[in-house]
Structure 1
Amino acid sequence: MAEAARTQRATALLAPITDRRRHQRVKVNLLGRFMLSNKREFACQVFNMSPGGAALIAPVQGEVGERVVAYIDHIGRIEGHVARLLEGGFAMTIDAPLRKRDKLAAQLTWLANRHVLNLPEDRRHERYVPKHAHAKLVLPTGKEVNCRIVDVSLSGAAVIVSERPPVGSPVVLGPIRGRVVRHFEDGIAIEFAAVQAQDTLAAHFG
């Protein structure tokens, strides 16, 4: 009985993997959050993706076969299972009907053609010193630390913080998701996952 269960589980995992490899993989740099079966939420970064699967940099890996629900910037909600473990993350299948996979393929094509991926820190937006300089920063591990905002713009911020995650790490400044794009002597520069509205920044940081 146990052997039959293991065979069934392996077959279920191999089917999506085989299906996924029929789709073209796209190198991406998308931030998001994910939950495993314990319902705890973690930040993540998707570095390649196809309509059948995705590879994530993540602070926890889960177990092969474990259910994953993720919310990815520019993509939305995806569901699947851990297919294999990677150094610093994992690969997951994307379990979705054909119609949704077609939509995902179109989204990935649009992103690639629009050059949304791998953007450098955006300097087109004017930076200013916020009225409320002290904020909370959530690190990739989920740990929350205090930081001081040096300046902020619609597309990013510079903060002084005692712990500096590696460049490329997903972080959350106040309620806004972003990623570390540069280190400086006392802190980090953050690029927001999406350009913010001026009203949003004013509401959170003054």
Structure 2
Amino acid sequence: MAAATQLKSPRVLPLAQERRRHQRVKVNLLGRYMLADRREFPCQVIDMSPGGMALVAPVVGNPGERVIAYVDHLGRLEGKISRLIENGFAMSISATLRKRDKLAAQLTWLANRQILNLPEDRRHGRFSPRNPIARLILPSGVNVACRVIDLSQSGAAISIAPDLRPVVGAMIMIGKTQGRVVRHIEDGFAIEFTRLQHSDFVEDGVTGE
């Protein structure tokens, strides 16, 4: 029995060791996760290392519970809940050494992008659409008209009534394009698209019928 117990000892390092072994990076990545009972929910990854990550999540499981997460830029990640945190949970990431090396490279890229802190209107040239009126689907599912102030391949600025302005971090649909609210502005809010849009089609995807 002792030998069997040794064989089953967890390969995931304790959290303190994991923190020492892998530097955690502050990130802001959206995704979805599935708990052991196969329920799925949206989430936001707020910090991460190749060995684990912390998620803001509407529903938490139990420590030790298996979780599968699909995270923007990073794809499918599997592990177990290591501890509960305020508004979410932390989970280990079960991965081969090759996968962890790839994650480390991706996290370095994400960290460097954040250090540069280039807003989307500086990464990609912005322009005013020919038809500024678009349909906006709010997180509640409400469909309203809005005005597109300007847009680029990676985001847009939206003018809307203050009482309809979604919170920062909320997922919305503008036309046929999905985005996330990244900040509030005087007359509305700015969004960053979840996928980089082609320069020839971005306007049709946002304001086209």
TM-score greater than 0.5 by the shorter chain = yes
The CA deviation at 1:160 is 3.2
Task: Name the structure 2 match of 1:192.
Answer: 193
Partner Cα distance (1:47, 1:58) in 2: 11
- Higher deviation after alignment, 171-180 or 95-104: 171-180
Assess, with a 3 A threshold, how the Cα gap between structure 1 residues 66 and 149 changes in structure 2: closer, same or farther: farther
Higher RCO (C-alpha 8 Å, min separation 6): 1
Q: Superposition pairs for residues 54-203 of structure 1, below 5 Å?
A: 54-115=53-114, 119-122=118-121, 124-128=125-129, 130=131, 133-137=134-138, 139=139, 143-151=140-148, 152-157=151-156, 158=158, 160=160, 163-167=164-168, 169-173=169-173, 176-184=177-185, 187-198=188-199, 199=201, 201-203=203-205
For the 8 Å contact 1:43–1:170, the answer to whether it is kept is no
Query: Residues 172-206 of structure 1, C-alpha deviation per residue, up to 9 Å, x if partnerless?
Result: 31564432223357753212234212425524641
Given that residues 68 and 81 in structure 1 are in contact (C-alpha distance below 8 angstroms), is that contact kept between their aligned partners in structure 2? yes
Check 1:192–1:116 CA distance in 2 against 1; reply closer, same or farther (3 A cut).
Answer: farther
2:142 alignment partner, SS class: strand
Pairwise CA RMSD of aligned residues? 3.3
State TM-score, norm by structure 2. Answer: 0.73
Alpha-carbon distance in structure 1 between the residues aligned to 2:66 and 2:91: 9
Shift of the alpha carbon at 1:52?
A: 0.3
| Cα deviations by residue, 1:93-145 (Å, 9 ceiling, x for unpaired) | 111111111111111122223447755342532132657722423x3xxx423
CA–CA distance in 2 between the matches of 1:33 and 1:159? 28
For residue 78 of structure 1, report the CA deviation from its aligned partner. Answer: 0.9
Q: Distance in 2 between matches of 1:79 and 1:28?
A: 18
**1:144 partner SS:** coil
The answer on whether the counterparts of 1:29 and 1:118 sit within 8 Å (CA) in structure 2 is: no
**Count of matched residue positions in the alignment of Structure 1 and Structure 2:** 193
TM-score (norm 1): 0.74
Q: Percent identity?
A: 55
State which structure, 1 or 2, has the greater radius of gyration over its C-alpha atoms: 2
Per the TM alignment, residue 70 of structure 1 is displaced from its structure 2 partner at its CA by: 1.6
Cα drift, residue 55 of structure 1: 1.0
Gaps of at least 5 residues in structure 2 are: 1-5
* Structure 2 equivalent of residue 5 of structure 1: none
**Residues 49 and 172 of structure 1: CA distance in aligned 2, closer, same or farther (over 3 Å):** same
Q: Does structure 1 conserve the Cα–Cα contact (< 8 Å) formed by 2:170 and 2:180?
A: yes
Deviates more, 1:45-54 or 1:112-121: 112-121
